[in-house]
Amino acid sequence: MSAQLAPTNPGSFVQTFHGGLFGSVGKAGSAGCDPAVGCTAIAPGVPNSAVDATIAATQRFSLGFPQGQLSCASPQANAGTCLPPVAITAVPDGKLHAPYFMEWSLGIEHQFGTTASLQAQYVGTRAVNQPYLTQVNGYQTVCLGCFSPFPYRAPSDARFAVTDPRFAAVTQFSTGENSHYNGLQLTAMKRFGHGLQGQVNYSWSHCMDTVSNGGFLQFAAGGILSPLPGELARDYGPCDYDIRHNLNAQYVYQLPIRMRRHSLGYALNGWQISGTMFWHSGIPFSVLSTPYSANGNGIVQGSGPQFASVVPGVPLYAHHPVTGVTQPGTIQWLNPDAFVSTVDPSTGQCTGGDDPQHWQFGNLGRNALRGPNFFWNDFYLTKWFPVTERVKLRAEAQFFNVFNHPNFGLPSMVLAGIPGRPSTQTGFGALTYATSPPTGLLGVGLGGDSSPRMIAFQARLEF
């Protein structure tokens, strides 16, 4: 990579990517490209300028669109005056409703003695008119009536040109997504007394919505960001962060040993144990179908969850290896024979027959499955050694994930196959990676690399 403010010696550039105002991009020597500097220059006013090409395309679109010129992607378009397909973000009717939130709570607290208390609280929230995104110019090229709600568009038949051919993907920004949360929160607290201090928190909660996080950011791998066009209600299900049970605790206990003899006291006095514990139930996720791909057909310019179907009467989970499905080094979590894809992964065609009845999305709902529970426990053993009257040496052994309990993330492969055919289910529903812990010797947010048990020893002077 090289950069310069003026093209003093263009021939000296390496023929790959040249940064800077007068650099160029593209593969040198290919058809239509300069044999030395490549296809596209970056700066305006130079041959093959990307900026000039963008300006020309914008002008062409601005002039042709009001006159009803078609997109170049349309078979009815005039090659000399057609418009390049334009991807845009639109607002329906030019109006958006302001989102708002409501929250209510009711709590009660009781104190026991001078150091203990118990608190119970109900918390409810509701969010209204939350934003979400949909792809409203999508269509499918499989057959008439297939993959509803996407309309059928046959490139060679003008009768089925139901989408606007002047646009490519159209992302519609809308409001109207709602969410509900109800939770019971319990807290037991013991303030320091008789050498003991601690707190235990437990919550039982339930959160339901149609799109989490406004559709802008996935809370977990595989989160559904965009609903099918016109079918927002179909995605109503557990929130991406719906954790039904959540328990955490922390404690500190100073051992009640007070030896007067200097030699024994030096060894036995000043001991403390402490720790933290986290446990919560699994987070939800969805199982999807393989996208249609036979004969180059499928869904074009569209997005949304292509759900799989559930097989009635078959257990959803299988926590044992499945021959031909479970891969070495992974742990099976879902039963591959409990789900069936609308599309056969081995052929790219629909399962059950080539007709609109079978070419529809599955009946499984959003976030219908649950991942594994999470358990984490840290333990600290501390000893103070008196150095002087005002100075102490603190020595501590720290055990992160003291029980070395593995915590796994959600299954990596959630595209269903065909029951009884392991070749279409390879790797489906298996746990493949460890999840990030809430505490750790190396810090937080480092993923599974910091999840094994780690032991550290430290010493410091306190004064």
More confident residue, 266 or 119: 119
Closest CA to 156 of 168, 138, 139, 141: 141
pLDDT surpassing 90 at residue 64: no
Residue from 61, 27, 34 nearest 48 by CA: 34
pLDDT reported for residue 41: 61
Q: What is the mean pLDDT of residues 356-376?
A: 91
For 11-15, 322-326, 436-440, which range has the lowest pLDDT when averaged over its residues? Answer: 11-15
Q: What is the reported pLDDT for 368?
A: 94
Q: State the pTM of this model.
A: 0.79
Strands 430-431 and 331-332: antiparallel
380-415 per-position pLDDT tens digit: 999 999 888 889 999 999 999 999 999 999 999 999
Cα(218)–Cα(441) distance, rounded to whole angstroms?
Answer: 27
9 or 181: which leads in pLDDT: 181
Residue 193: pLDDT over 80: yes
> What was the pLDDT predicted at 89?
83
Mean pLDDT of 41-59: 75
Pick the closest to residue 377 from 303, 257, 279, 305 (CA basis): 279
CA 20, 22, 26, 30 torsion-angle sign: negative
Average confidence score pLDDT of the chain? 84
Query: Does the N-terminal peptide bond of residue 149 adopt cis geometry, omega within 30 degrees of 0?
Result: yes
What is the average per-residue pLDDT within 23-31? 47
Using only the alpha carbons of the chain, give its radius of gyration.
31
Ordered alpha helix ranges (H), 141-256: none
Alpha carbons 451 and 441: distance in angstroms, whole number? 9
Q: Helix, strand or coil for residue 450?
A: helix
Between the alpha carbon of residue 371 and those of residues 182, 332, 368, 403, 409, the distances in Å are 21, 11, 10, 21, 7
Q: How confident is the model at residue 18 (pLDDT cuts 50, 70, 90)?
A: very low
Q: Which helix (H) or strand (E) covers residue 265, if one does?
A: helix 262-268
| Beta carbons of 279 and 248 less than 8 angstroms apart | yes
Higher pLDDT, residue 13 or 49 = 49
Return all residues near 284 (Cβ < 8 A) that are at least 6 apart: 237, 238, 239, 240, 242, 367, 368, 369, 370, 371
* Cβ atoms 273, 255 nearer than 8 A: yes
Residue 345: pLDDT over 70: yes
214 against 42, higher pLDDT = 214
pLDDT band of residue 155 (cuts 50, 70, 90) is: low
